[in-house]
Amino acid sequence: MPDYQKSLGDTVRKARHKAKLSQAELAEILGIGLRTVGDIENYRSNLTMETLYPLIRTLNIDPVEIFYPEHTDSTNGAAAELKAKLTTCTEDEAILLYEICDAALRTVRSPKAYSIYKQK
């Protein structure tokens, strides 16, 4: 089995569970057969772009998880979720969120905030 089939299957299964969808529900949303979803999750599928593209978009999957699984830090779930959410933003939303995050990080990383956190 090629590595990409395993990373694709594992990523799709995880994202489908997170979206609280059954295999049948996902198949219906994508307009594909239930067996196709099962084959993907069981590492037996070689998808076309016509299936892969809507699958990734529907489940809000970061393509890095599929194509570069070695770059995915599974211990850092919150950062991965934040990245995935950011991919759905418009440019204006991203600019605003960048400013908010930058200000929040400066506050959190300040020496005073660090000393307060360390005391807890």
pLDDT, tens only, 27-36: 999 999 999 9
pTM, whole model, 2 decimals?
0.62
Torsion of CA 107, 110, 115, 120, to 10 degrees: 30
pLDDT band at 58 (very low <50, low <70, confident <90, very high): very high
The half-sphere exposure of 76 on its side-chain side, counting CA atoms within 13 A, is: 9
Residues contacting 8, CB < 8 A, separation 6+: 40, 43, 45, 47, 66
Query: CATH assignment of 3-71?
Result: 1.10.260.40
| Location of structure tokens 């594992």 | 10
